[in-house]
Amino acid sequence: MLKGIGASEGYGIGRVMVIAEQSLEYTPKEVADVDAELERFHNAIDVFCDNTMQQADAIRKSTGDKEAEILEGHIAIIRDPFMGGEIENLIKSGQCAEASVEQICKMFIDMFSATGDDLTMQRATDVKDIRDGLLGILLGVKEVKISDAPAGTVLVCRELTPSMTAGIKKENIVGIVTETGSQTSHSAILARALEIPAVLSVPNAATQLSSDELIIVDGTEGNVVTAPEQSQVDEYTAKREAFLRERRELESFRGKKTESADGTEYELFCNIGTPKDATKAVDADGEGVGLFRTEFLFMDRNTLPTEDEQFEAYKQASLILKGKPLIIRTLDIGGDKEIPYLGLAKEDNPFMGFRAIRYCLKNRDMFKSQIKAILRASAFGDIRIMFPLITAVEELRAGKELVEEAKADLKVSGIDFDENIQVGVMTETAASGVIADLLAKESDFFSIGTNDLTGYTMAADRGNSDVGYLYSPFQPSVLRMIKSIIENGRSAGISVGMCGEAAANPMMIPLLISFGLTEFSVSAPSVLKVRKCISKWTKAEADTIAKKVMEMSTEAEITAYLKTVV
């Protein structure tokens, strides 16, 4: 059995087709005719965009507009004047087109990869796909074609790119196995949209598996069963039938209220990273947006976005939501998120350094511009402001003072906005948990960011495998912190939500119901699952489970117990 990441749930039984990776090696050389090299580069862009638009059209027909937009985004990236201009400058300096494309793409890949934010890191994969596509055209390498795969095929490759996915006939592909990728990578998103079971990040999958061998793909647990016995084939066939039955049942929760078994109603929101993602939230039956990450507006460019550009983005998202709540997190940027034009200094420990609200309060003009844009957009819907990485009451007060200054400026200019806009705190540090009672007195709402809260509370980097055993929201210290934040928020009469990944974890949901959480914000594909999970529990049942959990001493005890009752 091979282990990986279950990125698209379900079970597939079929025969392997290994997709060999094409070589994109070349020998860098100086060019004498710069104009000819520029023309070669521009022709490659034209071919790339034509190919990509054809692929987007194919994906639109097989899965829909949202998935096609992933590939259309590739065209927007390579047509961006900044990226194209930087590549052209290198060519003008005498570099060949291949080396210029690779160097500038590497700069963007490194920038996006360094953020630590899953949604932003997807952009690194996009740029890799663009780089490989352009290099393939410049080098004359033929594209991989997988449209001829027969029925019952399991695709196995190093990396399944969005462009490769365009050739998939979903009726013929029963599973996908790759050597790279994560739950949030575009290959995972497209696999889920196609409803094909997928296991990603299986080491050396393309060399360990042979074409035409029978395997089982368990996209739910992240397992690949090799050389299965008939009893295993029968077992997974039954699992597949049960899974498809459950998927049909989930659709029955579409359009329903989010409520527990004893009738307590909850808000079920989505996390988004771009204005267009608001459409995904609506399509998924989300009841609003609990976290709009605004970093995308500041990335992939060489100047700050203007107030008007930001206003249009926030307004667009709000109009898509048609009056549903939109919680906008102000810029969460810092030493770990490298944006060249901001001139951020390198730090030994950027996660504990000059970032998020700390950076914004030191760059008041930029921060005020963002706040004014949010305020202006608030005239078009239910928009709320959320400050990230608050560790002291002074930071919250300073942020709120800037909101009042921005309101005063807009009044002088006669611009409409929501005078009573809510201002809340993203509680994601141990400090914010300890002083939650103080912050609650001056906040309109809390939203718990469990990813960072877990890391800061446990002093464990989730990207460091050596301390991975500590990084769990089910650690007793993290659960106590979550419970304390919720109780202090509720005592002060404010709503408390959760926008971290734990909000969608079935084992966490009864605990959150017991603690008194009022709002869950999850990825769009998780909405119906979370609604169904919430519907299973009464408050009394959740309290019984939570009481036992909070008496336990270790993460292992807690998770073992929860697996028996959830």
Active-site amino acid positions: 186, 499
* Cβ neighbour number for residue 518 with a 10 Å cutoff: 19
What are the structure tokens assigned to 199, written together? Answer: 């296991």
What are the structure tokens assigned to 394, written together? Answer: 């002074």
Residues 6+ apart with CB under 8 A from 396: 387, 390, 425, 439, 442, 443
Question: CA angle, corner 309, sides to 305 and 313, nearest 5?
Answer: 115
Q: What are the backbone angles phi and psi of residue 225, rounded to the nearest 5°?
A: -90, 120
Amino acid found at 262 = D
User: Counting runs of H as helices and runs of E as strands, what totals does the chain give?
Assistant: 22, 16
Residues 6+ apart with CB under 8 A from 361: 367, 395, 398, 399, 402
Nearest to 143 by CA among 161, 155, 126: 161
What is the DSSP track for 7-27? EE-SEEEEEEEE-PPPP----
CA distance 114 to 229: 43
Q: What are the backbone angles phi and psi of residue 333, rounded to the nearest 5°?
A: -130, 160
CA distance 47 to 36: 16
CA distance 560 to 542: 17
Q: Which of helix, strand or coil describes residue 303?
A: coil
- Helix (H) / strand (E) element for 448: namely strand 445-448
CA distance 292 to 66: 18
- Tokens 């709540």 locate to 325
Q: Are 338 and 110 in contact (CB under 8 A)?
A: yes
Nearest to 545 by CA among 474, 446, 472, 452: 474
Long-range contacts of 283-288 (CB under 8 A, 24+ apart): 283/66, 283/524, 284/524, 284/525, 284/527, 284/528, 285/253, 285/254, 285/255, 285/527, 285/528, 285/531, 286/324, 286/524, 286/527, 287/258, 287/324, 287/325, 288/321, 288/324, 288/325, 288/326, 288/327, 288/382
- Helix (H) / strand (E) element for 178: namely strand 173-178
CA distance 50 to 196: 27
**Radius of gyration over every alpha carbon of the chain, rounded to an integer in angstroms:** 24
Nearest to 258 by CA among 54, 438, 519, 24: 519
- Tokens 């780089």 locate to 131
Length of the chain: 566
Nearest to 383 by CA among 294, 297, 467, 303: 294
Q: Which of helix, strand or coil describes residue 536?
A: coil
